[in-house]
Structure 1
Amino acid sequence: MNNQPYLIPQQAATFEEEIKKSVFITHLAHTPSIERAKAFVDEVKQTHASARHNCWGFVAGRPENSMMWGFSDDGEPSGTAGKPILAQLSGSGVGEITAVVTRYSGGIKLGTGGLVKAYGGGVQQALKQLQTIEKKITTNLIVELDYGFVPILQSMLPQFGAQEVAANYAVNVELVIEIEVSQISLFTEAVINKSGAKAIVRSQNNE
């Protein structure tokens, strides 16, 4: 499993242009699952029910995870819409994103090359406007420690971007810490060093 952070859309974006009397409207949205991606496609199709085509592509997980990709030409000639849309998305390095390109046809044929350029180009322009944020991959750790070490541990958390999410006070203290996966080994090493190997760090999933 890849635990590196990746970019996701911060908010939706749209881009509209007219090419040979056809209006192309590109809609981008954050869709963290295939179900959400398909729901967004349906929403756009309902909003633009009178449009000739609502072609789409999605990257519903990590940018490089092609198992979470999908696309449709929605009635356009095969390969002229869905694939160029997906190619722009998969090449952008942004994950959890869906693009739907609505086409109101103006009666002038664009040809296959023109369609590829229109659908791919619209997504490319919309991506330029898109604001993204970094999605961090986090997990929960349990740190078992004695009472005297609690304030020291709590003071260490910010330097690892970690936070305390729960605490269980018994004979010893068990703190549940949310932390980025990429920081686990450094954090564990620091806790063991600071506590003189008295604190125990384990994954919450091993319970």
Structure 2
Amino acid sequence: MPFSLAQPCEYREDIKKSRFLTLAAPITSAAEAQAFIERHSDLAATHNCWAWKVGQQYRFSDDGEPSGTAGRPILAAIEGQDCDQVVVLVIRWYGGIQLGTGGLARAYGGGASKCLQAGERVELVSRVQCACHCLFAELPILKARLSELETVLEGEQYDADGATLQLAIPEARLPDLQKTLGDITRGRSILQRL
């Protein structure tokens, strides 16, 4: 099961007089990732190397470091920590001592890995979208039961009799929600997958 971060986090490390600052944050899109990188990059630093991953999409940059020594190790750290929907930016201020390609890969990948390990992680749950209709009298009862079924209320549209609810639920909990809905509405309302 993949994880994301609950909130942004950072990790600092000095390696042979070079300073490394690693920043990581949860994201939901490529645009969010690029905005985070632009907002937090330090133009006075020697290198601003980064990687991000959202589902099957990913990108990375070595920002002037030798090819394959920064961006790819950062992405490998993201995948190695079983993370998704995260961006990691590693800022380096050069200290005058060459680290070599292996040393650079260890510094960038290691910093990213330590930052992700230190951050508060949340499990990413794949949810299916569905909808149902409830009468006004049934709404409060159903809404009270949604959290115990790990269901997120994404929207509701009212009509003369009640409301149509748009829900997102883990696939495994779908039968439980259908049974609960049937019990509350006495079989009148059924769950429709969207």
Both structures adopt the same fold (TM-score exceeding 0.5): yes
For 1:83 and 1:144, the matched residues in 2 are separated by 48
Q: Say if 1:190 and 1:119 are closer, same or farther in 2 by CA, change over 3 A.
A: same
Letter paired with 1:13 = C
* C-alpha contact (below 8 Å) 1:167/1:174 kept by paired residues: yes
The aligned residue for residue 198 of structure 1 is 188
Deviation per residue, 1:166-203 (Å, 9 max, x gap)? 35353x43441534142233312443356453223324
* C-alpha contact (below 8 Å) 2:152/2:169 kept by paired residues: no
The aligned residue for residue 22 of structure 2 is 26
The aligned residue for residue 120 of structure 1 is 109
For 2:180 and 2:9, the matched residues in 1 are separated by 42
For 1:197 and 1:14, the matched residues in 2 are separated by 51
* C-alpha contact (below 8 Å) 2:48/2:91 kept by paired residues: yes
For 1:109 and 1:123, the matched residues in 2 are separated by 20
Q: Give the secondary structure class of the aligned counterpart of 1:38.
A: helix
Q: Give the secondary structure class of the aligned counterpart of 1:56.
A: strand
Aligned residues: CA RMSD: 2.6
Q: Say if 1:194 and 1:13 are closer, same or farther in 2 by CA, change over 3 A.
A: closer
Letter paired with 1:122 = G
Q: Give the secondary structure class of the aligned counterpart of 2:175.
A: helix
Q: Single out whichever of 128-137 and 9-18 deviates more from structure 2.
A: 128-137
Letter paired with 1:23 = R
User: 1:166 and 2:162 equivalent?
Assistant: no
Q: Say if 1:187 and 1:26 are closer, same or farther in 2 by CA, change over 3 A.
A: same
Letter paired with 1:52 = T
Structure 1 position 117, deviation (Å): 0.7
Letter paired with 2:88 = A
Letter paired with 1:30 = P
Q: Say if 1:37 and 1:190 are closer, same or farther in 2 by CA, change over 3 A.
A: same
Letter paired with 2:117 = K
* C-alpha contact (below 8 Å) 2:151/2:170 kept by paired residues: no
The aligned residue for residue 14 of structure 1 is 10
Q: Say if 1:121 and 1:202 are closer, same or farther in 2 by CA, change over 3 A.
A: same
Q: Give the secondary structure class of the aligned counterpart of 1:200.
A: coil
TM-score when scaled to structure 2?
0.83
The aligned residue for residue 53 of structure 1 is 47
Letter paired with 1:94 = C
For 2:108 and 2:138, the matched residues in 1 are separated by 59
Structure 1 position 137, deviation (Å): 4.6
Q: Give the secondary structure class of the aligned counterpart of 1:115.
A: helix
Q: Single out whichever of 75-84 and 172-181 deviates more from structure 2.
A: 172-181
Q: Point out where structure 1 has 5 or more consecutive residues left out of the alignment.
A: none
* C-alpha contact (below 8 Å) 1:146/1:199 kept by paired residues: no
Structure 1 position 85, deviation (Å): 0.4
For 1:127 and 1:155, the matched residues in 2 are separated by 35
Q: Point out where structure 2 has 5 or more consecutive residues left out of the alignment.
A: none
Structure 1 position 10, deviation (Å): 1.5
For 1:121 and 1:147, the matched residues in 2 are separated by 55
Structure 1 position 158, deviation (Å): 4.5
Number of equivalent positions: 192
TM-score when scaled to structure 1?
0.78
